[in-house]
Amino acid sequence: MSNGLDFGDRTDFDNADRGFVSALTPGVVTASDGRVVWDADSWSFLAADCPDTVNPSLWRQSRLCARQGLYEVAEGIYQVRGLDISNMTIIEGDTGVIVIDPLLSVETAAAAFGLYRAQRGDRPVTAVIYSHSHADHFGGVAGVTDGNVPILAPVGFMEHAVAENVYAGTAMTRRAGFMYGVTLPTGPAGQVGFGLGLASSTGTVSLFPATVHITRTGQEETIDGVRMVFQLTPGTEAPAEMNFLFPDRRALCMAENATHNMHNVLTLRGALVRDARIWSRYLTEAITMFDGRADVLFASHHWPTWGHDNMMRFLSEQRDLYAYLHDQTLRLANQGHTGSEIAEMIQLPPALGAAWHARGYYGSVSHNVKAIYQRYLGWFDGNPASLWQHPPVETAKRYVDCFGGVEAILTKASDYLAAGDPRFAAQLLQHAVFADPRHGDAKELLAQVYERLAYASENGVWRNFYLTGAQELRYGPTITPVDLGAGMAAVLSVEQIFDTLAIRVDAPKAWHDTIVIDWTFTDLGESYRTTLRNGVLLQQQNVPAGQPDLSLFLTKRDLLGVLAGHGLGGIAYDGEIDALRRLLGHLDAPDPSFAIVTP
Ligand SMILES: [Zn+2]
């Protein structure tokens, strides 16, 4: 392997194995109905040498991620790794344990905690810490506690935990299906992991609200005799995130701000773009704040780093990485280059390029550079030719016309492929498929091109996008069997529930209708007025003057029931109940299996 990568360096493997206590055997976690939600044993194929269907660097990373079980990180600090996409960390206190980041699913969290207890006894959970607002760091919480303990989280946690997946939830979920390869078979020609971990569990997502908010850097808390010092890092890897030190244990938790891969400035499932500048700035602050105060650094993905110099080098290089991407992207943007150009121009300095923890298994130089360009300058590259392009199908028809038919495009694409340019072959074939989605040869050739791109890709997410694309070209779109918003409905605020309704209004159907409804939530003591007009559903808290068409007196649970189609049973009202039926009749349903690789 080129790129200056040292495959003989065993440090990561030593660290991933260090402190091993016991594994889950068999490595299978099931739901109460018997459905398998995690199968660590399905990754045993990674024990073999790298096949020619996987990039060797990605294969190496997946082998590291495939280690599973309970590990001792330091005295009284344990991690369960490899039983979900993320790590559960357990800090032993005076009377029980503090659980950091209880995985994504209730089932995997319960299994992970059971593995710990089997070795260390039935210690009670005395507190939970959510390091940040992503579901793989809180979704399993009901698997370790009933919620009647302090739950610590960075300020803004609840809003962001819920909000990120709500408004564009269906689109994100569909794209996440591609990103995580959830419909791909696990194996050398399929899903092999995506750098941050091997896969996401598919169990039950839960969420107990945070009760202790960390609101400032330097804040200290002591729970169960365990002292903690927090560093808030909003706007880094997540909008609400924090690092924290256990000063008496000399251990530092870096949440997901410094892990063993280049992370995403913009996750390819879609999200608000992150801020690489702030990210690097907070890593500098962490270095300053925690230098000399810890002997081990761990995070909520991957394996720990032991020893002062190793930790400082790791943090410094991670910091340099995000700063470099940010600054060099803007340097080149200010010289007139666009995102897609800069993505090809940027080269990492040799020391970062050769650092295993900076490799682009999850994020990539290519898509992170485009994300930074997007953050500052947006989708438009400034060239008027890009301003008003035809959408994909109309563009495709015109390309086919220019080439003289789909067959001619296929011939050209095969030539480019043979000449070692699968990227352009894919661009050409995309036009053929979008112009004629029933053309089997075009779809099959594009599927083969995607496979070739996948097998060469060091980035696990890119691999999954290509392979899922190939699969759907052959077999059609599938429904992603993972719902990013699952379990979230009950914790939505009324404002967010009305927002989600507004997003579903089929405006052209509704724009001649005007409907005013007052909603009094008897459980919350809150009242809202919604007004449908001009195809928009407006909301305001505290009902203004003026007569509504309908007044409803209900609980938030009733509202969720109505929206789930459970009817109006028991809901008190005053006025024209037909107004509610009309409003519901104007709502559209999102499409969980919309086509991506075909029109
Ligand atoms: Zn995570």
For residue 226, give the DSSP letter. E
Dihedral of CA 341/345/348/349: which sign? negative
E-only strand ranges, 95-203: 97-100, 125-129, 151-154
- Cα distance between residue 177 and residue 139, in whole Å: 18
User: How many other C-beta atoms are found inside a 10 Å radius of the C-beta of residue 178?
Assistant: 24
C-alpha of residue 425 to centroid of ligand 1, in Å? 34
Q: Give yes or no for a contact between 520 and 551, defined as CB atoms under 8 angstroms apart.
A: yes
Which bin fits 567, alpha (ψ -120 to 50), beta or left (φ > 0)?
A: left
C-alpha of residue 134 to centroid of ligand 1, in Å? 6
Specify burial of residue 24 (Cβ count, 10 A radius: 0-12, 13-18, 19+).
buried
- Cα distance between residue 287 and residue 314, in whole Å: 10
- Cα distance between residue 270 and residue 86, in whole Å: 20
C-alpha of residue 466 to centroid of ligand 1, in Å? 22
Using alpha carbons, list the distances in angstroms from residue 25 to 29, 70, 585: 10, 12, 51
C-alpha of residue 289 to centroid of ligand 1, in Å? 23
C-alpha of residue 260 to centroid of ligand 1, in Å? 12
C-alpha of residue 395 to centroid of ligand 1, in Å? 38
pTM of the model: 0.95
User: How many other C-beta atoms are found inside a 10 Å radius of the C-beta of residue 286?
Assistant: 24
What pLDDT, on a 0 to 100 scale, did the predictor assign at position 371?
98
Using alpha carbons, list the distances in angstroms from residue 453 to 242, 306, 543: 37, 37, 57
C-alpha of residue 164 to centroid of ligand 1, in Å? 14
C-alpha of residue 269 to centroid of ligand 1, in Å? 14
What residues form DSSP beta bridges with 92?
Answer: 97
Q: Give yes or no for a contact between 193 and 65, defined as CB atoms under 8 angstroms apart.
A: yes
Q: Which residue pairs, CB below 8 angstroms and at least 24 apart, start in 87-90?
A: 87/298, 87/299, 87/300, 87/301, 87/302, 88/112, 88/113, 88/116, 88/140, 88/144, 89/253, 89/298, 89/300, 90/116
- Cα distance between residue 348 and residue 365, in whole Å: 8
Residues lying with their CB under 5 A of ligand 1, a single-atom ion: 86, 134, 136, 256
C-alpha of residue 137 to centroid of ligand 1, in Å? 6
Mean pLDDT of successive 10-residue segments in the chain (599 residues)?
81 98 98 96 97 98 98 98 98 98 97 98 97 95 97 94 83 93 96 96 92 98 98 96 98 98 97 96 98 98 98 98 98 98 97 97 98 97 97 98 98 98 98 98 98 98 98 90 60 90 96 97 96 98 93 94 84 95 94 94
C-alpha of residue 132 to centroid of ligand 1, in Å? 8
C-alpha of residue 300 to centroid of ligand 1, in Å? 7
C-alpha of residue 301 to centroid of ligand 1, in Å? 7
DSSP alpha helix (H) spans, 238-307 = 276-290
Report the chain's C-alpha Rg in angstroms.
26
C-alpha of residue 185 to centroid of ligand 1, in Å? 22
C-alpha of residue 542 to centroid of ligand 1, in Å? 38
Residue with tokens 């086919």: 400
What pLDDT, on a 0 to 100 scale, did the predictor assign at position 1?
41
Q: Give yes or no for a contact between 240 and 232, defined as CB atoms under 8 angstroms apart.
A: no
C-alpha of residue 227 to centroid of ligand 1, in Å? 24
C-alpha of residue 256 to centroid of ligand 1, in Å? 6
C-alpha of residue 72 to centroid of ligand 1, in Å? 21
Residue 527 CA to its chain's centroid (Å)? 34
- Read off the pLDDT of residues 377-397 as tens digits, 9 standing for 90 and up: 999 999 999 999 999 999 999
C-alpha of residue 238 to centroid of ligand 1, in Å? 9
Q: Are strands 550-554 and 572-575 parallel, antiparallel or unpaired?
A: antiparallel
C-alpha of residue 246 to centroid of ligand 1, in Å? 21
C-alpha of residue 131 to centroid of ligand 1, in Å? 9
Dihedral of CA 559/563/565/568: which sign? positive
